[in-house]
Amino acid sequence: MKRNYILILLSAIAISFSSCNDFLERESEQILPPEDVYSDPALIKSVLANFYGRISWGQHPEAQGEYDRLDEAVGQGNNNISNMDRNWWRVYDDKDGRNGYKLVHEINEFIYYLKASTALTEEEKAPYFAEVRVIRAWFYFCSARSLGGVPLVDDNLFEYTPGMDITTMQIPRATEAATYDYIIKECNEAAKDLPGDKTINAGRVNKWAAKMLEARAALYAASLAKYTTAEYNDITLASGAVGIPSEKADNYYKIALAAADSVILYSPYKLQDKKENKSTNFYEAVTIKQENDEVIWARDYKYPGQTHGFTRDNIPFILKRENSAGNLSVLLNLVEEFEPLTTSTPGQKHPFNIGTRENPVFYDTPDGPFEGRDYRLKGTVLVNGSVFANTEISYQAGLLYRNSEGKWDVEYSLPGEGSMATSLNGPIQNSERLFNKSGFSMRKYLDETSSAAAMMGSEVFAVRFRLAEAYLIAAEASLELSNGKAAQYINPVRERAGVQPLATVTMDNLIHERRVELAFEDHRYWDLKRWRIADKVWNPEAPTGQRRGLYAYKVNQPGDPNNGKWFFEEVKMDFIYPNNLKFEKRNYYAEMDNEWLNKNPKLEPNRYQQ
């Protein structure tokens, strides 16, 4: 193959390289012949860096609007959505034509030209080849989890010339099993040529990132093989492009366990557990970069060049520095999953003891219901009375008082004073901007650096893989293989959270643990899909299909023994999200766009497409 030029588009990206102590930050748009690019080690590295800037898919802080679609959070404005969209977080080809198969094509060009380059020795080239294979495998994984089997190009390069037979460029979908097999193989082989040391800010693929992707892909494939039962035959395809034979499940679980176990045993990573305050430990496991022991691979951000506005847009109103705040409100659905430290049912969610207005339960402190709970709660969520950036955060919805009939009632302004009894932060039951809606905000990904709430933005990274997931993958695979080791893998994660160890582990325990450990890290949607329970959990007729909040009211009844205490009341979010969550069986796989099908008639559409 001969190419006369190569187009390098280098946006202002910030990516850490383990071989140097500075960030590669370049902004240019040049057309250079490949012989120039691949004769210069710095330009070779620039092409590689460009790939990293194009592979952020799913939920991540740079796209904050992606967090309010499930049962974890809601946004500020009215949302009349009635059904989940089967194409959420679909990856194949984007409108800009940069981040789908064009990316795969450019990665294959990189491999092609680097092979012929004399600027690097073969020993120096090997980790580069391995690195881009993992990036390419990440694309295929993100595609497969939404679409099922996809066309596998491998290292082939296709160049169109006028008059050629384009059918030679049309590749059918691989089976779903073959797609996951390819991802697993690529990661397993690439890991052999990748360095095992940590990379700066976890910004670059290393051996352990490859093993984590291998483990996650194998776990997904195993789940699909086991849980796509006869009930779901109507979403599979006879070709195998959707659906994995059940007899493959155990082998995939074994691969997932082996890969995750290798990370646990041999990698330089460990669970972040340095601070006496376990909530702080958990918060820092996902947020801090310096001396982070846990994060294996992340999308890094660095000022100047690239930051994100997650903190600016989601910080509580009282701390805002721009005309934005409180965009996301965390749901009670998630908050009540964080179990008490002392409980007779460890590993399960535990609703709060709040009573009713007729028979209220009172708490002495603003965070009373949340005390003595899984320390991950306050590392993930800002609750009433939380402290963030050295400031106590109030989510007081109003005052509780006795009305003229002697019954407990709620008011929103102090009698005779005209001042609002609702906190500046909210919560309020309307669609007004800036104010909390549910009584909870997200703490995970919020940056305590004061400048993060200003226009310069935050440098907090977006985690793709961290060690806790390796433990949970190993626990799940062990549970499914019935090898008796699930508890030994799940308990280190629970120990860091301060909750009781589990003597035995059930699937419900595992589902619960992944929900509280990995909240807002782009797992919830895919987990429920691969276990084939999304249509049952997000059922508008089921309690789990309802979005709920929890409002705090301070007692304002002088002379009453409970004056100054706190009462909490459950609130439905139907004032802003009138429709319950609804996931249908058709949503388990995204659509193949008509444009894709027209360009490539060998593609097979998924079921339930019009």
Q: What is the pLDDT of residue 162?
A: 79
Are the C-beta atoms of 219 and 514 separated by less than 8 Å? Answer: no
List, in order, residues 6 or more apart from 351 with CB less than 8 Å away.
336
Nearest CA to 281 out of 266, 296, 293, 268 is that of: 293
Cα–Cα distance for residue pair 139/55, rounded to 1 Å: 7
pLDDT of residue 159: 79
Beta carbons within 8 Å of 162's beta carbon, 6+ residues apart: none
What pLDDT is attached to residue 355? 95
In this predicted structure, what is the pLDDT of residue 166?
79
From the list 220, 3, 216, 244, the residue with the least C-alpha distance to 109 is: 3
For residue 360, what are the contacts with CB-CB under 8 A and spacing of at least 6? 354, 400, 408, 567
Q: Which residues pair with 24 in a beta bridge?
A: 15
Contacts of 322-326 with C-beta under 8 Å, sequence gap 24+, read: 322/453, 322/454, 322/455, 323/434, 324/434, 325/434, 325/435, 326/76, 326/425, 326/426, 326/433, 326/434, 326/435, 326/436, 326/441
Strand partners, 295: 466
- Residue segments in the chain with a per-residue pLDDT below the cut of 70: 1-30, 95-97, 413-420, 610
Which residue matches tokens 């593609």?
603
What does the buried/exposed string (b/e) look like for 467-485 if buried means 16 or more CB atoms within 10 Å of the residue's CB? bbbbbbbbbbbbbbbeeeb
In this prediction, residue 242 carries a pLDDT of 98
Going through 184-316 in order, the beta strands assigned E by DSSP cover 295-299
pLDDT of residue 5: 44
Encode burial over 524-555: b for 16+ CB neighbours within 10 A, e otherwise.
bbbbbbbbbbbbebbbeeeeebbbbbbbbbbb
Q: Is the peptide bond before 316 cis (omega within 30 degrees of 0)?
A: no
How confident is the model at residue 432, as a pLDDT?
87
Is the four-CA dihedral 457, 459, 464, 466 of positive or negative sign? negative
State how beta strands 548-555 and 396-402 pair.
Answer: parallel
The pLDDT assigned to 158 comes to: 84
What pLDDT is recorded for position 168?
A: 79
